[in-house]
Amino acid sequence: MHFDPMTTTVIDEAPSINLAYAGLCVFQPPAMRRISLASICLLPFAAALSWTTTPFNPSSIPLAVRTPYLSTWLPQGAGAALNDAWPTFWAGQITGWAGFVKVDGVAYSFLGASSVPSATFNKAVQKSFKFTSTQSIFVLSAGAVDLTVTFLSPVEPTDLLKQSIPFSYLSVSAASTDGKAHTVQVYSDISAEWVSGDNSLAVKWNSTTTGSILTHQVQLQTQNVFSEVNDHTQYGSAFYSTPNTVSATYQTGADVTVRAQFINNGKLGNTLDTNFRAINNNWPVFGLAHDLGSVTTASAPVLFSVGHIRDPAIQYIVTGGALQSRSSYFLSQFSTSDAVISSFLGDYSAALGRANTFDAKVQSDASKISADYAGVVAISIRQSLSANEITLSKTSSGAFNTSDVIVFMKEISSDGNVNTVDVIFPAWPIFLYTNPQLGKFLLEGLFRYQASGQYPNKWSVHDLGSSYPKALGHNDGGDEAMPVEESGNMVIMALSYAQKTGDLSHLQRYSALLDQWTSFLISDSLIPANQISTASSYLGVLWVCILICTSRMILPVPWRIKPILRSKASGVGPTMRFFNRAVGIVGIGAMGQIWNLLGNTSKGANYTAIAKSYVTQWQTLSASSTGAHLTLAYGNANSWGLSYNLYGDKLLKLNLFPASVYSQQTAWYSSHANKFGVPLDTRHTYTKTDWEIFTASWATTTAVRDLLISAVKSWVSDGQYNAPFGDLYDTVTGAVAIGFKARPVVGGHLALLTL
Ligand SMILES: *[C@@H]1O[C@H](CO)[C@@H](O)[C@H](O)[C@H]1NC(C)=O
Ligand SMILES: *[C@@H]1O[C@H](CO)[C@@H](O)[C@H](O)[C@H]1NC(C)=O
Ligand SMILES: *[C@@H]1O[C@H](CO)[C@@H](O)[C@H](O)[C@H]1NC(C)=O
């Protein structure tokens, strides 16, 4: 996928830009959601927050964020309390999620922006917000009680089963603030908006008590397997559950009816509305309530789980073009939704303990860089991992084959491609840090498809399928052409996994593919050595772009813009095409190491020598006349850019590039930063957060490292954006560019933890 800063006029005209804000306008009651969005959106947020935030206020707060389809956030902009705004899906549509508490008979809302005409309630007052890598924790005061509302989206990278469970926790505990006892009842519901991207579609539901669990289940009446509408899945079911204590009550019905029932009575009617209807037809909601009785010291938490299960999860092309249906890993252990929900809720204390341990480790590791870095890493982790799903196939007898694990990643927002190589690559540090095995399973689907012989090109494929969750391959070879980029990325990632784990199985099994891609890099991405001395300026452009410019054309753009961009890009001549070439040198050097690991040291030495000779020639061609920086384009001494690809040289310990390159580039960035960081290159003031952090990972001074990191932190907390972490923004204004959001590439923010 390409993003060309030079075509911003095209980008700016694209209708998708404003989608970033659609649906994020947060003050409307459900019945009003479809009207006057524009005017409501323009309401200014409060200039300063009236609550404390730790470590900072991000553009959007993760609430239930575990998969591409279980991804609900609290949009912030300059700040919204938990009960100021409706939670939204990452793409912006509301996912109705409401919460009320009664304290001494007085009702307060604590979650969502409900309007309940037939009942009176106050808003609890938010006192604090804190996030960690796994949790978003709010404290709100309701009368003489403080509520602690914790959203825990587990991050269990070393446990494939737990990591694959598409559920998240909400827990609510109450504590008296005046030392006296107060009666407390807690209520929460979800709407049917969790099951579709089209609210006019009809849903059905049921509510059951199974053993110790109360569960609401809701799904579309017409299930469309493997399909999406507005990025929501269109099949499977959403579940809202709570332990079935003696005080627990439930109810389904219209939003205003069920919420009024709780507000007026402190409990639900244990009644079912069986008038199945459209999501937006008197908005059916699925309510659960608990009576905590009299509370003084902190109560035991009231626990809810929200989740979405679909099966099969992924359609994947295998040998001979057959399509394999793959299931979420956890289904190998749990044959019913009740079983997995019961296990998930029962595991809460242990899960919280593991989450706290994980959070503390990340905090400790990242704080060694800086406090800003620790915050950026913590807000990136749930977002990045939630783009992935861990799947299994079945054997011919129908049993799950637990030795056949493939992880699938949705590209998110720039488009819906499956396992895009140039999106996995920037996200790669999160896998190296949390569990390289997950990275291996991400690459496995790409390797296996290409080893099946169905992909016709001699370079690496761009992705496994145009539209998640259909990994149908590209047997016509017509995938987006980024041959040098993707080939280099695959070789680099394969080596880094082997170096990190000592597991050479991928290198052994797929050495022919890796070598084929490297041969392509040697012959096609670079000019043969004997032509260098006679390089025309045309060839020179290719050469000087080897490192600096290599990836500038690969930034993904929203799919609506993609065809326009592509046609524009193809019209600007060969230099533009060459900008996209040449993560190549690092890839060639990596293949040298791979052959060494596989025992063919003569082949290894040959590739290493080729890579080194390419570096030498590249240095000569890309030096600016002043010697102050590397140039972006041969002969254009004023051009420069972020050399983020040096991360690969450092990560793999190839030492292909001399120390002088690192120090010279670092010095240049120290005096060429805008208010919100260092531009990607001289063609525009845009930059990428992942590439800034990749650059920070090798910067030779702490000052420049911290400048880049703090720029990313400033951007994500500057109050201008209200969608999940966007990775493309303007370094001058701090404004979002194009509307990239929620993308897994923020996993690249962990780059400094991998070196
Ligand atoms: C399970 O998957 C592995 C890896 O794809 C495969 O080699 C093996 O044959 C499969 N087993 C069965 C019984 O299908
Ligand atoms: C290394 O690879 C070359 C080229 O494929 C081959 O001729 C040679 O036999 C290999 N050497 C070893 C030790 O495998
Ligand atoms: C080194 O690799 C290149 C590219 O594959 C090949 O053309 C050349 O023959 C190799 N040289 C030796 C000495 O193996």
pLDDT at 43: 36
pLDDT at 336: 96
Rounded CA separation 648/545 (Å):
16
| Residue that finishes a domain, picked among 265, 291, 310 | 310
Q: Are 399 and 214 in contact (CB under 8 A)?
A: no
Q: Are 121 and 103 in contact (CB under 8 A)?
A: no
Of residues 709 and 48, more confidently modeled: 709
Which range, of 45-59, 152-166, 205-219, 257-271, averages the lowest pLDDT?
A: 45-59
Ligand 1 centre and the CA of 396: distance in Å? 10
Establish whether residue 600 lines the binding site of ligand 3, counting it when its CB lies within 6 angstroms of any ligand atom.
Answer: no
Binned at pLDDT 50, 70 and 90, residue 654 comes out as: very high
pLDDT at 47: 52
Do 541 and 409 fall within a single domain? Answer: yes
Do 522 and 633 fall within a single domain? Answer: yes
Which range, of 265-274, 537-546, 644-653, averages the lowest pLDDT?
A: 537-546
Q: Is residue 23 situated within a structural domain?
A: no
Do 301 and 383 fall within a single domain? Answer: no
Provide the angle, in degrees to the nearest 10, between the axes of the packed helices 601-622 and 537-544: 120
Those residues whose C-beta lies under 8 Å from the C-beta of residue 418, and which sit 6 or more positions away, are 314, 408, 409, 410, 411, 463, 464, 465, 466, 467, 468, 469, 470, 471
Do 726 and 584 fall within a single domain? Answer: yes
Which range, of 94-98, 243-247, 549-553, 603-607, averages the lowest pLDDT?
A: 549-553
Count of domains for the chain: 2
- Cα angle for residues 630, 633, 638 (degrees, 5° grid): 65
List pLDDT tens digits, range 418-470.
999 999 999 999 999 999 999 999 999 999 999 999 999 999 999 999 999 99
3-state secondary structure of 93: coil
Of 603, 606, 608, 610, which is best to mutate to test ligand 2, by the most ligand atoms within 8 angstroms of its C-beta?
603
Q: Is residue 1 situated within a structural domain?
A: no
- Give the domain extent around 492: 365-754
pLDDT at 13: 24
Q: Is residue 428 situated within a structural domain?
A: yes
Q: Is the pLDDT of residue 36 over 90?
A: no
**CATH value at residue 464:** 1.50.10.10
Rounded CA separation 754/724 (Å):
24
Q: Is residue 315 situated within a structural domain?
A: no
Q: Are 240 and 288 in contact (CB under 8 A)?
A: yes
Q: Looking up tokens 């009785």, which residue turns up?
A: 293
Ligand 2 centre and the CA of 601: distance in Å? 8
Q: Give the whole-number percent of the chain exceeding pLDDT 90.
A: 79
Do 419 and 299 fall within a single domain? Answer: no
Ligand 1 centre and the CA of 324: distance in Å? 13
Ligand nearest to the CA of 596: 2
pLDDT at 505: 98
pLDDT at 635: 64
Do 284 and 403 fall within a single domain? Answer: no
Q: What is the mean pLDDT of residues 602-608?
A: 98
Q: Are 682 and 631 in contact (CB under 8 A)?
A: no
Q: Is residue 185 situated within a structural domain?
A: yes
List pLDDT tens digits, range 358-409.
999 999 999 999 999 999 999 999 999 999 999 999 999 999 999 999 999 9
List pLDDT tens digits, range 1-26.
544 443 332 222 222 222 222 223 33
Ligand 1 centre and the CA of 505: distance in Å? 16
- The kind and range of the H/E element at 288 are strand 284-295
14-30 in b/e burial notation, b at 16+ Cβ within 10 A?
bebbebbbebbbbebbb
Of 326, 395, 402, which is best to mutate to test ligand 1, by the most ligand atoms within 8 angstroms of its C-beta?
395
Do 301 and 412 fall within a single domain? Answer: no
Length of the chain: 755
Do 478 and 626 fall within a single domain? Answer: yes
Q: Is the pLDDT of residue 286 over 60?
A: yes
Q: Is the pLDDT of residue 188 over 50?
A: yes
Q: Is residue 320 situated within a structural domain?
A: no
| Residue that finishes a domain, picked among 310, 338, 373 | 310
Do 229 and 371 fall within a single domain? Answer: no
Q: Are 527 and 540 in contact (CB under 8 A)?
A: no
| Residue that finishes a domain, picked among 289, 310, 331 | 310
Q: Is residue 385 situated within a structural domain?
A: yes
List pLDDT tens digits, range 515-573.
999 999 998 755 433 222 222 232 333 333 333 333 333 333 332 233 323 322 322 22
Tokens describing residue 688? 């990428």
The residue whose C-alpha atom lies closest to atom 4 belonging to ligand 2 is 603
3-state secondary structure of 363: helix
For the chain, what is the mean pLDDT? 87
Dihedral, CA of residue 569, residue 573, residue 574 and residue 580, to nearest 10 = -20
Do 543 and 686 fall within a single domain? Answer: yes
Residues with CB under 6 A from ligand 2: 600, 602-603
Do 630 and 720 fall within a single domain? Answer: yes
Between the alpha carbon of residue 32 and those of residues 84, 114, 126, 413, the distances in Å are 15, 11, 25, 26
Q: Is residue 479 situated within a structural domain?
A: yes
List pLDDT tens digits, range 589-602.
999 999 999 999 99
Do 292 and 210 fall within a single domain? Answer: yes
